[in-house]
Each structure stands twice: as structure tokens, then as C-alpha cells.
A and B are shown apart, each in its own frame.
Chain A
């Protein structure tokens, strides 16, 4: 297992859910950098380094995107499609992390080349376990694209 730090872009409009993800990631021994944006437009601005995200120093290219689906301004699916349709960004693994278990959402996400689809569990222990597994798999075991 490699322990290189990795930049994670979290796209989540609910501050409480963002806090849950942040706390779980703090528990990983690797010093990851969690960048949090609250809507789809901000996510695209970040990825394309527009506006307040124009500085590559403070807004480094992410090695992983955690994406909620129902987002204000630009929808999660739209962000996903933009990322996967862009030859410079399509290599970044995108993990959909959402409350929706609807078949149509799952199909739409995979159809838009999501790398993984995770439903937020209601149970506390399960949520912690999910975040732990996610950390081990995507941050440690998984070979980074670059």
C-alpha cells in the first residue's frame, strides 16, 4: 500500500454531510487534502480553474472526485458528463456519493461513466464503515491515474 497524499474534490451541498465525510477522512493516516465545493457550478469552476479557483497552488487538480447527484445550479450528472467528456479530466475517478438509490439515477450515473456509485447509509456504523472502505480502496489500494 502506498501512502501518497491525494487531493479529493468533494461536491456536496449539505454542510452536515460534508462534515461527516471530512471527519472520516481525517481518520486516515495519509495526509489527504479535501477540497469542498457546494454546488455543481463551483465544481466545474474548480476543475476548469475559473474565478476564485484560478490559482493552481490553492486549487490543485484532484486525484478523486466525490460527487453528490442532486445539486443546486448545475446537477451532479451534468458535472459527471462534463468531466467524463473532457479528455483532460476524464481520467479522474469519479465516485457518486448520494442518498438516492433510484435505479434511474444509478443507470444514468454509470451511463455517464461514473467509476463507482455509493448510496449514503442511514446507519452511523455503516456510514463510517463505508468511508473506511472507500478510503482503503480508492486512496490506498487503487493505482492513481497519474
Chain B
């Protein structure tokens, strides 16, 4: 059973006709039978019978006309109600819905479609896609219309379109289905579109996360395998040492095993830390950048003092809103990193600043240490990536910083004029920005620790 254009099937049209015809036929038959019997019984005069028969005929026409009008009106009201409901239903659908004839001219569209193209249905009906969209897109639409007709079923496509209301670009998923009337003749192509921009974005983010996860697993499996090989191999050597009664070698080989297991423990601890960043969160609080930086400087005060690094805070103070210990970790790790890669600089300085342009606030941590080669600028944010085999740590600090920055919808990058020329880390934290920057002053690490610059 195929649905026709008006939404009624052949069967339901038949039923509607019978609902009018049957009561009429029943009433007419009863009228003929009963009225003739009544006339024969009541009237004897043949002349009067003739007159009454004529009147009876007129009466029949009047009464059946009234009956028909009642029956038909009832059907029409019911039909109108169904149609109005259907129209409301189509107009209530939040996705644009439209119907075009096989030549591409619009036959019908709903409110969402009107809003999407920014035109009323009067301006739409009878027009084609070439009147509503730019020709490139109209070409695509006319091609997919043709595909739907050729396939004889639903055809799906995705296009970037401009939303008339606000001029924004939206990725629309369109499903087109050829529509036929009761006799199977093609009426046109029915279309429905949905804005999938958000879904697509989420999908891409998911893919990105998936790729990151794969890289993560690769790194972990590779980097954890390394100490495992050491442990297994030196256990083998230990067996040989014991057989040979070589106490000196036993001590030496056990040292290798111990170092390897220490390394594994450190790696696992830091991995746990990275995975915790996303999950475990402290309740967000309002905090000032300067307090946060002071906290971070305090946490690495030992290393700063040891290398005699001067820490300077420049730029505006900024009010932040977020997980305090996590945010502090950003600066802590960056300062630690700066101290670690200071190299042999005579007058080591780490400068912490904020820069606000019209669009965003950029935080900076700048040092005059060994610098970073251009090719390493992406690599340093990876897991366990150390640029120097001799440096302590497992190379996880910057990966951790990147993860925290990303949690606050920010970006992080590094600039350096090359080896030996220092490096500057830049990052944004849109998700943690609460207010406008306040006043401007310079504070040294000493002042930071004593809090003498307070009162901002």
C-alpha cells in the first residue's frame, strides 16, 4: 500500500465514501418503502395521491440534501483536522523538511526550512535550489536529488551550509527520499536535514583522543618494556654470577636490577598522575594568578635556590577560576623545566608573565637557558620524552602541563631562537579565565615568597 500525496490511502478514501453513501442509501430506501405504504394507507383520493406524491418527491430531495450535507460536513471537518495536525506536526519538526518536484521546484517546506534559508514559504514554493543557495551547493543538491530518484530510496549526504539567521556555517546531514503518489507516479523528492556540526566536532575530538590513546599505549609499552628487559637480563647474569661465586658481579648486577625497577616505579607513578589529571578534580575556586605562581615557586624553591635562578613576575595579575592545585602544577612544572634546562647560563632568569590582546590572555614562562631546537618543539610535550639523557626525571612534566592546559580548553606552545638562546612557553586557559586583569607591577621571587606584593 503506497501513500499518496494527500496522506490518504486508496482504502481509507473508499471507507470515507462508503461512510457517506451507506447512510444515504439506507435512508432513501426506507423513505421510498415507508412513504408509499403510508400514502396508500392514508389517502384514497387518486387526485390527492398525485399531489402528495409530488410533494413527497420534493420532501425527499430536501431531507436527503440535509442528510448529505451533515454527512459530508462531518467527513470534511474530520479530514481538515487530520490535515491541520499533519501540517502542525511537520512545522513542529525542528529539522528543515521540504518537498521538491522532479524538476527541482519546491512544492512544500516546513518552518524550520523557512528559518534555515531565511525566506517564507511563499518565497520558496515554485523556486529551485539555484534561487535559494549558491550555485555550487545547488549543483550538489540537484545531483543528490537525482541519486535518490535513481536509487529509489533514501540517500544520505553531508554539506557545509550557511545558516541564514546568524550567518554561521553548519554541517548539515541531508536524507532525501523519492516520493510517489497512489498510482506509483513520482511526485518528487522529500528532504530532511539535520545540523550535525556539534556531533561531527565531538566525533573528531573522539578520534583525536583515540589517536592520543594509541600513542600513549605505544609509548608506555615501549618505555616499560625497556626496564623489564634490564631486569630479566640481569637476573640471568645473576644466576651466572652465583654459579661462578662472583660476589662483586652480584652486587653490580643487582644495582642494575634495582635501578630498572626504580625507573619502572617512577614511570608508573607519573602515569597514574597523568591519568588522574582528567579524573580527580578539586572543587573550583576563585584565585589570583600571583598567589598561584607564588605557590608554584615555593614548591620548587629548593631547585631555584640551588641553581640561583631569579624568578620574575611581570604583566597583569589575572583572576582565575579552577582547580587550584592543578593550575599551580602548570607553573610549577614549567618553572621546574626552566630550572632543569638552564644549562651553564651565567645569570639564570625565569620570567613569568601574562599578555592580553583583544582576543585572549596568553600566559608565558620564559627562561634564558639552553633553548629548544625547532624540530623538538612538538616532541617535548609527549610522554617520557626527554631531550637530554642525563637530566633527571622521566620527561613527563610537560605532558602533564599540556593535559591540564587542555582541560581548560587552552593551547600550549613553545618558542625558542634555537640552542643556547633560551625558550618561552606560551599557553592559554580560556576555561579558567574569570575576570579582567587588574593592576600591573613587577615582583621578584623573593617578594613572591614573603607575600610583600600582596593586596591585589
Question: Quick one: given A72-B387, A72-B388, are A100 and B229 in contact (CB under 8 Å)?
Answer: no
How many angstroms between the C-alpha atoms of A91 and B237 in the bound complex? 35
A23–B237 touching, CB < 8 Å: yes
Q: Could you mark each residue 60-71 of chain A with 1 if its beta carbon is under 8 Å from any beta carbon of chain B, else 0?
A: 000000000011
Q: Does B345 sit within 8 A of A, measured CB to CB? A: no
Q: Could you mark each residue 208-238 of chain B with 1 if its beta carbon is under 8 Å from any beta carbon of chain A, else 0?
A: 0000000000100011011111101111110
Question: Quick one: given A16-B259, A122-B232, A125-B236, are A100 and B389 in contact (CB under 8 Å)?
Answer: no
Question: Quick one: given A23-B237, A102-B218, are A122 and B388 in contact (CB under 8 Å)?
Answer: no
B389–A124 touching, CB < 8 Å: no
Closest to A124 in B: B236
Closest to A37 in B: B389
Q: Does A33 sit within 8 A of B, measured CB to CB? A: no
Q: Does B256 sit within 8 A of A, measured CB to CB? A: yes
Closest to A100 in B: B222
B229–A122 touching, CB < 8 Å: yes
B389–A72 touching, CB < 8 Å: yes
B389–A39 touching, CB < 8 Å: yes
A124–B388 touching, CB < 8 Å: no
B225–A128 touching, CB < 8 Å: no
Q: Could you mark each residue 39-71 of chain B with 1 if its beta carbon is under 8 Å from any beta carbon of chain A, else 0?
A: 000000000000000000000000000000000
Closest to A23 in B: B237
User: How many residues of chain B have a CB within 8 Å of chain A?
Assistant: 23
- Residue in contact with A123 in the complex, picked from B232, B237, B259, B386, CB distance below 8 Å: B232
Q: Does B260 sit within 8 A of A, measured CB to CB? A: yes
A102–B222 touching, CB < 8 Å: yes
Complex interface residues of chain B between 368 and 395 (CB less than 8 A to chain A)? 386-390
Closest to A128 in B: B236
User: How many residues of chain A have a CB within 8 Å of chain B?
Assistant: 24
A70–B387 touching, CB < 8 Å: no
A17–B389 touching, CB < 8 Å: no
How many angstroms between the C-alpha atoms of A72 and B395 in the bound complex? 10
How many angstroms between the C-alpha atoms of A137 and B410 in the bound complex? 53
B225 to chain A, nearest CB (A): 4
| A70, A73, A124 interface centre (most CB from chain B within 10 Å) | A124
How many angstroms between the C-alpha atoms of A80 and B437 in the bound complex? 50
B386–A17 touching, CB < 8 Å: no
Contacts of A100 in B (CB 8 A): 218, 222
How many angstroms between the C-alpha atoms of A146 and B74 in the bound complex? 106
B225–A122 touching, CB < 8 Å: yes
How many angstroms between the C-alpha atoms of A39 and B57 in the bound complex? 116
| B218, B222, B387, B390 interface centre (most CB from chain A within 10 Å) | B222
| B223, B229, B256, B390 interface centre (most CB from chain A within 10 Å) | B229
How many angstroms between the C-alpha atoms of A71 and B225 in the bound complex? 15
Contacts of B228 in A (CB 8 A): 122
Contacts of A17 in B (CB 8 A): 226, 229-230
How many angstroms between the C-alpha atoms of A19 and B256 in the bound complex? 9
B233–A124 touching, CB < 8 Å: yes
A21 to chain B, nearest CB (A): 10
Q: Could you mark each residue 7-35 of chain A with 1 if its beta carbon is under 8 Å from any beta carbon of chain B, else 0?
A: 00000011011011001000000000000
Contacts of A127 in B (CB 8 A): 229, 232-233, 236
How many angstroms between the C-alpha atoms of A71 and B259 in the bound complex? 19
B230–A16 touching, CB < 8 Å: yes
| B226, B227, B387 interface centre (most CB from chain A within 10 Å) | B226
B222–A70 touching, CB < 8 Å: yes
Q: Does A120 sit within 8 A of B, measured CB to CB? A: yes
A73–B388 touching, CB < 8 Å: yes
How many angstroms between the C-alpha atoms of A13 and B390 in the bound complex? 9
Question: Quick one: given A73-B387, A122-B229, are A99 and B236 in contact (CB under 8 Å)?
Answer: no
How many angstroms between the C-alpha atoms of A121 and B233 in the bound complex? 9
Contacts of B218 in A (CB 8 A): 100, 102
Complex interface residues of chain A between 112 and 132 (CB less than 8 A to chain B)? 120-125, 127-128
Question: Quick one: given A16-B259, A23-B237, A38-B389, are A99 and B232 in contact (CB under 8 Å)?
Answer: no
How many angstroms between the C-alpha atoms of A71 and B260 in the bound complex? 17
| A13, A16, A71 interface centre (most CB from chain B within 10 Å) | A16
Contacts of A123 in B (CB 8 A): 232
- Residue in contact with A72 in the complex, picked from B235, B260, B386, CB distance below 8 Å: B386
Contacts of A73 in B (CB 8 A): 387-389
How many angstroms between the C-alpha atoms of A121 and B222 in the bound complex? 12
- A–B complex contacts, Cβ < 8 Å, 9 sampled: A16-B234, A23-B237, A72-B389, A73-B389, A120-B229, A122-B229, A123-B232, A124-B232, A124-B236
Residues of B within 8 A of A (CB): 218, 222-223, 225-230, 232-237, 256, 259-260, 386-390
Residues of A within 8 A of B (CB): 13-14, 16-17, 19-20, 23, 38-39, 70-73, 99-100, 102, 120-125, 127-128
